[in-house]
Amino acid sequence: MAGDLALAAQLLWTGVELVWLKATGGIMTHLTSWWNTLRSLWADGWSGLVAVMTAVGANMQQLWADITHGIYDRWNWTVGKVSEGLIRAAATAQGLSAEETQAWVDESNAMTDQAATESASNYARTTSEIGKNLAKSLDDIETQRQSTKARIASDEKTQLSAAEQRVKDLQAQFDAMSSPKVGPEQEAAQAGPLAAAMTGVPAAAMGVSAASTFRAAEVSGLAAGSPVERILKESLTAQQQTADNTKNSGKVKR
């Protein structure tokens, strides 16, 4: 009795859960799709924001490189001019010839030009590195965005598949519980006491009914029962007639 109640309760709960999942399945599918769409939009927005901030940072670096390079170039030019003026004044004070003065000036200008060339080379290298770093950072951001969106799509597919499989599993469980297998004991109980009584009836007794003669009332009475009951009643009637015939023949001999 307790087992039947437990089975009934489990069957009821499984049925309720199955109905609930089927009723809310469409809603949950749309909610899952909407939620993953929001996640995808957030990934796009966040990646875009990071890309903008990265570009701003690169532009700030480039601006700083432009400013420092310009300041250094102006400073180097000023130093060269001042050095040239000082050299000419010193050459005049020392009574140097124009050729000697110009050679001294050319040497100073060469140093100024070398400094300007090194500054330009450093500026070009810095600009190139800033551009390469910016391109690599933007590529990494895009790769991360694509990876995130692919993971979101995979999660949505997995969630929907899991929900669908859950409904199938519950349906199979509910069907199995609703149609339990009937064992030998349950079959005997369902057949009734007459079928159980046939277990000890010999095969010969089962066949006596075919050769026996019954009254019309008995035949009509047997026809009302099930085939099992009719066979059993015919067998019992045949056994009774055989016993009566044996008894009567014994009386005649005496």
**Given this model, what pLDDT does residue 131 score?**
95
Higher pLDDT, 126 or 171: 126
- The percentage of the chain sitting over the pLDDT mark of 90, rounded to a whole number, equals 35
User: Is 252 contained in some domain?
Assistant: no
Find the mean pLDDT for residues 20-49.
Answer: 85
Residue 235 and residue 238: Cα distance in Å, rounded?
5
Q: Which pair of tokens denotes residue 129?
A: 């590195």
User: Is 187 contained in some domain?
Assistant: no
* End-of-domain residue from the set 180, 202, 222: 180
The mean pLDDT value of the chain amounts to 76
Count of all residues that appear for the chain in the document: 254
On whether both 176 and 242 belong to a single domain, the answer is no
DSSP 3-state of 183: coil
pLDDT one-digit tens code per residue, 175-216: 777 775 555 555 555 555 444 444 444 444 444 443 444 444
On whether both 91 and 163 belong to a single domain, the answer is yes
pLDDT one-digit tens code per residue, 13-22: 777 776 776 7
Q: Domain total for the chain? A: 2
pLDDT one-digit tens code per residue, 110-148: 999 999 999 999 999 999 999 999 999 999 999 999 999
Work out the end-to-end distance of the chain between its first and last CA atoms, rounded to an integer number of angstroms: 61
On whether both 152 and 32 belong to a single domain, the answer is yes
User: Is 253 contained in some domain?
Assistant: no
**Given this model, what pLDDT does residue 206 score?**
44
User: Is 157 contained in some domain?
Assistant: yes
pLDDT-derived band of residue 62, with 50, 70 and 90 as boundaries? very high
For residue 148, which of 48, 241, 217, 81 has the smallest C-alpha distance? 48
User: Is 69 contained in some domain?
Assistant: yes
On whether both 111 and 214 belong to a single domain, the answer is no
On whether both 149 and 176 belong to a single domain, the answer is yes
* End-of-domain residue from the set 159, 180, 201: 180
Find the mean pLDDT for residues 34-41.
Answer: 90
Residue 14 and residue 1: Cα distance in Å, rounded?
20
CB crowding 100-119: b at 16 or more within 10 Å, else e: ebeebbeebbeebeebeeeb
On whether both 150 and 199 belong to a single domain, the answer is no
Question: Hey, how many other C-beta atoms are within 10 angstroms of the C-beta on 187?
Answer: 10
User: Is 131 contained in some domain?
Assistant: yes
On whether both 46 and 130 belong to a single domain, the answer is yes
* End-of-domain residue from the set 158, 180, 202: 180
On whether both 114 and 75 belong to a single domain, the answer is yes
**Given this model, what pLDDT does residue 188 score?**
53
**Given this model, what pLDDT does residue 207 score?**
44
- The percentage of the chain sitting over the pLDDT mark of 70, rounded to a whole number, equals 66
On whether both 150 and 206 belong to a single domain, the answer is no
Q: Provide the domain limits for residue 197.
A: 192-247
Q: Secondary structure of 6-34 in the HEC alphabet?
A: HHHHHHHHHHHHHHHHHHHHHHHHHHHHH
On whether both 158 and 205 belong to a single domain, the answer is no
